[in-house]
A and B are shown apart, each in its own frame.
Chain A
Amino acid sequence: MAEVSYGELSKNGLWKNNPAIVQLLGLCPLLAVTGTVVNAIGLGLATILVLVCSNTAVSIIRNIVSDAVRLPAFVMIIAAAVTCIELLMQAYAYELYQILGIFLPLITTNCVILGRADGFAAKNSLGPAMYDGLIMGVGFTAVLVVLGAMRELAGTGMLFGGMDLLFGPAAASWKVVVFADYQPFLLAILPPGAFIFTGLLIALKNLIDERIKKRQDALKEKPVKGSKRVRVTGTIT
């Protein structure tokens, strides 16, 4: 396989082929834990770490493992990485670990990770594989955080509540009350809200893509109107 340029990889991970809103992979954690920004960041960071570790390991062993057993091998690698992250979170962010609950070990089954391991890391050398893991993770996390912010804002009228769970006691004051005296809009925090807001996000992305395409089309040279006679029947020598 030809070497891939890092610029192309970044563009793919962050926008064109974003794992969350274009590939629609990993929807389960996406929908379940994006009730607040802090949850989204926590899960996003964990996913980035797992993606980088697993992509790296898979890329290293890609020439040793035979095709027939590659998927079990990849899953073992991913599970090992997830276990490490889980233990780390348990040690350093225990409250958040409790809030994320089952969705932390479930990163193992997140399709983004196996998808990138099998689809990219297994065919590419170490550098691009690591970078792809990082940038896909960042793309996924970005969507998680935007979704978390939208839902937290709509659901509670606040932003960045409970950041101390992840960033230490100093972060407790980061909370921004956007609307004072706000009636909690429970639907936004509940799972249906996650579906609705994800749908809106996808629609927004498609709208922006459409606008960009229209602008590019407008910039393209228009074919000159009117007939220019072109010789088609051979050349005069």
Chain B
Amino acid sequence: MALMRITSPHAHGPLRTQRVMQHVLLATVPGIIVLTHFFGFGTIVNILWASCVALACEALALALRRRPLGFYLKDCSALVTAFLLGIALPPYAPWWLIAIGIASAILFAKHLYGGMGYNPFNPAMAGYVVLLISFPLQMTAWAPPRGAGEVPGLVEALQACFTPAAYDGVTMATPLDVMRQNTSLLVEDLWVQSPQFGRWAGLGWEWVNLAFLAGGAYLLYKRVFTWHAPVAMLASLALLSALFYDGGSSASGGSPLFHLLSGATMFGAFFIVTDPVTSAVSLRGRLVYGAMIGALVYIIRVRGNYPDAVAFAVLIMNFAAPFIDHYTQPRTYGHEHGGKDG
């Protein structure tokens, strides 16, 4: 038996949709834990309720479209949408907000376009933008992080979600908001004056971003996606913020480190931008796609009027993904560009 040779094909079990989705779910766990540590149980309640609604919506849509229920429910894609939206929404969001977001994500952004694999827009981000445009008040109410204010417990989190009228929450501007709205202070003064800043970026936010970075590294290791899109996005965001940052004034938009570790940067880079369905497909295309998202994130964050920019940037580039693919088709060996024979 010592002479046994293994010949090609060296086949291995391919990543099925279900496995990919389970990897993604697993990779969000560190981020969720850190979010829960800093902002309390709101995120977990968000995710649990969002998952219930997402499974119900998915089942409803599948039943209406007469598709096999078990097969599609088991692929976990609805759960991934629920997790992503639950993480993106502010903790202690009322139940109807989450339900509307999930319903628009699953019914409108996903199943109206043909379901799993056919949606041109990232469902979670479409749901997020629907909510952000419709309910700006609720969508910008982020709780203060541990260290800058009281963190509510589990009972309060449940109460905030299911009996929102009775819940009296404390909210605080996010570091990105503070940075954008201040144009007259030095960044150092801002750091001293506002309790929501931490070591490099927002208090808590820096660790949340690092945790999502770790989750992303796990997914990269598992080869769920390639490095191109996330790295391009982070690089262009860092480059732009480095170009415009003058080292001290808050009008210049914050340092590269601040932007990399603020808001939804890492979460977006590794969990949203890498969506295989709505992103560009070719490797060069993914570089362009990611870089454009990074640039848009910077522009909308610094010049725009919304709390964060990842959702808008991703949706805009979702439009452009087929266009990018058209111009970045890899050349087939033996053929010239444009599909002509060489």
Contacts and interface: CB of A to CB of B under 8 A. Distances in A.
A112 to B, nearest CB: 27
User: Which DSSP category, helix, strand, loop or mixed, fits chain A's interface?
Assistant: helix
Interface string B122-142: 000000001001111010000
B108 A186 contact: no
Contacts of B135: 183, 185-186
A190 interface: yes
Give 7 closest A-B pairs by Cβ, nearest first: A187-B134, A186-B134, A185-B134, A187-B133, A187-B130, A186-B133, A183-B135
A211 B251 CA distance: 61
Nearest to B137: A183
Nearest to A192: B133
A196 interface: yes
A187 B100 CA distance: 11
Contacts of B133: 186-187, 190, 192
Contacts of A186: 133-136
Interface in A182-237: 183-188, 190, 192, 196
B212 to A, nearest CB: 28
Contacts of A190: 133
Interface of B: 96, 100, 108, 130, 133-136, 138
Interface of A: 183-188, 190, 192, 196
Name, among A183, A185, A190, the residue most crowded by chain B CB atoms within 10 Å (CB to CB): A183
17 contacts: A183-B96, A183-B135, A183-B138, A184-B134, A185-B100, A185-B134, A186-B133, A186-B134, A186-B135, A186-B136, A187-B130, A187-B133, A187-B134, A188-B134, A190-B133, A192-B133, A196-B108
Nearest to A190: B133
Given A183-B138, A185-B100, A186-B135, 8 more contacts: A183-B96, A184-B134, A185-B134, A185-B135, A187-B134, A188-B134, A190-B133, A192-B133
Nearest to A154: B134
B96 to A, nearest CB: 8
Contacts of B136: 186
Contacts of B134: 184-188
Contacts of A184: 134
B66 to A, nearest CB: 14
A187 B136 CA distance: 11
B97 to A, nearest CB: 8
Contacts of B130: 187
Nearest to A186: B134
B135 to A, nearest CB: 6
Nearest to B96: A183
Nearest to A189: B134
Contacts of A196: 108
